[in-house]
């Protein structure tokens, strides 16, 4: 077996040193009834070439996003990732290192985390950020728990337009903790009903912008309403590239900002691994979940970095920890940070502008089709159309023309059968857009 260095001679010599006759003697603590004789009924080992061929064949059964016109968003976005990102994260020193618990020999990972935290804080307009969560949806759940801890209150509101899977994930982490979560039904056009239901028991309101329909939401009234009753505003996003074009949640009064970082450096990966971004105000930092990297000095006074504030965390605080999270999205933070460092502010702004222009162009092309109505008047790189036919049927029909033309809203929320959510990024060319227009026209005719 190519991955196992020991040979039979080694094994026998080692068994002698241990003082046992056979490998079986090392498993004598296992109850007899649970010992397995022989092999478990699964295929035996294969060569690298065999496995490579089998997996390549399996991959070939999928229609890769890049294999034709592609316009799906809904919480994950297809962007071009510079080649240097993937090259760098495959360096053994990043790829095959553990969590940086020994800071003297982990300064590479630690400095990247410190840079990542700073980049996330800058992007979201917040004071501090942690070293990542699993993804945007779990970060959203953790943000609500954090707000309830910080405010010692047990009620939260999720506004219309928050990604339904984020709401569901959040509802799930709250369900056994006696937290009352009010989730507004998702529908396009901004709904401010939530603002009237706030009271002194409310810990937080959760608002997404751009929201699941692509609309850009002014967070300022939400922040004012939350703060008026002593609650926190949790701002959610699924497309970080948007902050190259629109105001950051921090500028609009958010107290906690959480979202998905997948667009920058990580890729689609059929939904994971992704990287959850989590930022907040300085005064809330000791309630924050997850790992945090901080600056310090070594014995000779040199600047260095360590994991810090660990008295919030499960390995020290156990049942009193702020979260049970342990492993997060380490390597994805490295990818995010490298891509963001390649972009810089100048690059991010241009990238955002191109995304927005592509979306404007596509929205005009599609809404010119008979019976198609653009229902989002403001948007960044994703918008929603109302179709004269059930959107999921239209999406399936377009597959026949090799066009992955958006996301039927009904996949995320029942009852919104005629809505199609469409994303455009810098990866979409004019030919792709023309193909989309033809396929949609055909599907509707």
Distance separating alpha carbons of residues 391 and 373, to the nearest angstrom: 13
CA torsion sign for 433, 435, 439, 445 is: positive
369-408 positions binding another protein, by CB under 8 A? 377-380, 395-396, 399, 404, 407
Least separation in angstroms between residue 196's CB and another protein is 23
Which of 182, 199, 224, 251 is in the footprint of another protein by CB under 8 A?
A: 251
Least separation in angstroms between residue 139's CB and another protein is 10
Which of 189, 197, 269, 434 is in the footprint of another protein by CB under 8 A?
A: 269
Least separation in angstroms between residue 325's CB and another protein is 6
**Cα maximum dimension of the chain:** 82
97-156 positions binding another protein, by CB under 8 A? 97-100, 102-109, 111-112, 114-115, 117-119, 121-123, 125, 127-129, 131-132, 134-138
The residue (of 103 and 230) whose beta carbon lies closer to another protein is 103
Binding mask 333-352 for another protein (x = CB under 8 A): -x--xx-xxxxxxxxxxxx-
402: left (phi over 0), alpha (psi -120 to 50) or beta: left
The residue (of 158 and 354) whose beta carbon lies closer to another protein is 354
Residue 70's φ and ψ, nearest 5 degrees, are -145, 125
Q: Vertex 77, ends 117 and 361: CA angle to 5°?
A: 120
Which of 20, 193, 228, 368 is in the footprint of another protein by CB under 8 A?
A: 20
Which of 144, 148, 155, 166 is in the footprint of another protein by CB under 8 A?
A: 166
46: left (phi over 0), alpha (psi -120 to 50) or beta: beta
The residue (of 117 and 202) whose beta carbon lies closer to another protein is 117
Q: Quick one: tokens of 324? A: 């049970």
Distance separating alpha carbons of residues 24 and 46, to the nearest angstrom: 25
Using the rule CB under 8 A, is 4 a contact of another protein? yes
* Window of 58-66, 150-158, 199-207, 228-236 that interacts with another protein by CB under 8 A: 58-66
Least separation in angstroms between residue 157's CB and another protein is 19
- Whether the Cβ atoms of residue 295 and residue 317 lie closer than 8 Å to each other: no
Alpha-carbon distances of 77 from 13, 72, 238, 347, rounded to whole Å: 55, 7, 9, 18
Distance separating alpha carbons of residues 12 and 1, to the nearest angstrom: 17
Using the rule CB under 8 A, is 417 a contact of another protein? no
Q: Quick one: tokens of 14? A: 């080692």
Q: Vertex 173, ends 179 and 101: CA angle to 5°?
A: 125
Which of 55, 193, 228, 368 is in the footprint of another protein by CB under 8 A?
A: 55
273-312 positions binding another protein, by CB under 8 A? 273-274, 285, 291-300, 302, 304-306, 308-311
């Amino acid at each position: 077996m190519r991955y196992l260095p020991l040979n039979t001679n080694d094994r026998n010599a080692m068994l002698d040193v241990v003082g046992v006759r056979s490998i079986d003697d090392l498993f004598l603590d296992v109850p007899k009834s649970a010992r397995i004789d022989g092999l478990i009924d699964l295929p035996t080992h294969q060569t690298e070439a065999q496995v490579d061929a089998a997996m390549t064949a399996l991959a070939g059964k999928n229609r890769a996003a890049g294999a034709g016109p592609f316009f799906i968003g809904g919480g994950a976005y297809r962007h071009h990732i510079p080649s240097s990102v993937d090259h760098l994260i495959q360096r053994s020193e990043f790829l095959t290192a553990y969590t940086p618990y020994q800071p003297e020999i982990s300064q590479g990972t630690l400095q990247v985390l410190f840079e990542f935290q700073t980049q996330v804080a800058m992007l979201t307009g917040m004071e501090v950020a942690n070293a990542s969560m699993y993804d945007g949806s779990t970060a959203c759940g953790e943000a609500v728990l954090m707000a309830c801890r910080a405010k010692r209150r047990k009620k939260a509101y999720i506004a219309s337009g928050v990604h339904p899977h984020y709401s569901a994930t959040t509802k799930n982490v709250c369900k056994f903790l006696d937290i009352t979560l009010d989730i507004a039904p998702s529908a396009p056009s901004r709904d401010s009903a939530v603002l009237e239901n706030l009271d002194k028991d409310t810990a937080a309101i959760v608002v997404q912008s751009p929201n699941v329909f692509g609309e850009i939401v002014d967070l300022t009234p939400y922040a004012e309403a939350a703060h008026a009753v002593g609650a926190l505003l949790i701002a959610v996003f699924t497309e970080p590239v948007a902050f190259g074009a629109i105001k950051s949640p921090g500028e609009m009064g958010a107290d906690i900002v959480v979202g998905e970082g997948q667009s920058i450096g990580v890729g689609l990966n059929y939904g994971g691994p992704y990287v959850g971004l989590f930022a907040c105000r300085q005064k809330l930092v000791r309630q924050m979940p997850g790992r945090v990297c901080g600056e310090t000095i070594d014995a000779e006074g040199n600047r260095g970095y360590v994991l810090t504030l660990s008295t919030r965390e499960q390995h020290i605080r156990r049942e009193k920890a702020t979260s049970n999270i342990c492993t997060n999205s380490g390597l994805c933070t490295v990818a995010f940070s490298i891509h963001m460092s390649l972009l810089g502010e100048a690059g991010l702004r241009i990238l955002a502008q191109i995304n927005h222009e592509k979306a404007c162009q596509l929205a005009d092309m599609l809404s010119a089709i008979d019976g198609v109505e653009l229902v989002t008047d403001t948007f960044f790189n994703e918008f929603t159309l109302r179709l004269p036919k059930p959107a999921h049927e239209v999406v399936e029909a377009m597959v026949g023309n090799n066009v992955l033309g958006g996301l039927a809203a009904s996949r995320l929320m029942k009852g919104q059968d005629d809505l199609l959510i469409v994303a455009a990024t810098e990866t979409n060319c004019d030919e792709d857009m023309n193909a989309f227009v033809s396929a949609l026209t055909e599907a509707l005719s």
